[in-house]
Amino acid sequence: MAAVQKLQKCAVSPAGKHTASVIFLHGSGDTGRGLRAWVRDVTEPDLSFNHIRIIYPTAPARPYTPMRGALSTVWFDRHKISRDCPEDRESMDDMCNSLGLIIQGEVNAGIPKHRIVIGGFSMGGAMALHLACRYHPDVAGVFALSSFLNKDSAAYQAVEERLGADLPLPELLQCHGTKDDLVLHQWGEDTSELLKKAGMATTFHSFPGLHHQLSTPEMELLRGWILKKIPPLTSS
């Protein structure tokens, strides 16, 4: 296993007291700063909160097989962009350990795990699912935008095992455009159904006409869901 890497990140600080956190993972080839800029461009008003810190980590550059081994900022390697091939578990597990340092940093700052949401766009959503289902199932929730898991994903088995042991699982929000020609809408639907069958509480939203991209209505839906999962703390 590779050494645990400290990841670069940018963050949007809360306007008030920091009592919850969101970790938002970019898609393949992007950066935390790139995703942050994209979110700001499509969200009116900006995706920011009085009590929530939003962290946008950047994946380290690694050789990426679908690009014939060229370096790319990706969370893990894969044989091809398809549901029908084995996962590269080693690269996924290494990155889960590195992202775990960010989660631990929030915990050290006084934010309990049940006040942390993990999510991402495209490959970032798949990474978030592995992180939440397999390593940090005690987070408040997980979201995946325009994302999918492989048919034999270790995440399904992890969910089944926790269900069998009567252990809690985070709730999942998925969003997907019907015109996505990179990560097919059907792949997202199938992922949702398999996770639901394994025992996870899932909600799947289709966005008609949306390609492989973020949209303003999608981000508004996400904002409301985040506030539902990690609302402001009421003073006693």
Q: List, by residue number, the catalytic residues.
A: 122, 180, 212
Which residue in this structure is represented by tokens 């994302």?
147
Closest CA to 198 of 165, 159, 155, 164: 159
Measure the CA–CA gap between 12 and 47, rounded to whole angstroms: 9
Task: Determine how many CB atoms are found less than 10 A away from the CB of residue 151.
Answer: 16
Q: What size, in residues, is the chain?
A: 236
What are the percentages of helix, strand and coil residues in the chain, rounded to 5? 40, 20, 40
Closest CA to 219 of 47, 27, 28: 47
Measure the CA–CA gap between 228 and 129, rounded to whole angstroms: 19
Using DSSP's 3-state secondary structure scheme, residue 221 falls into helix
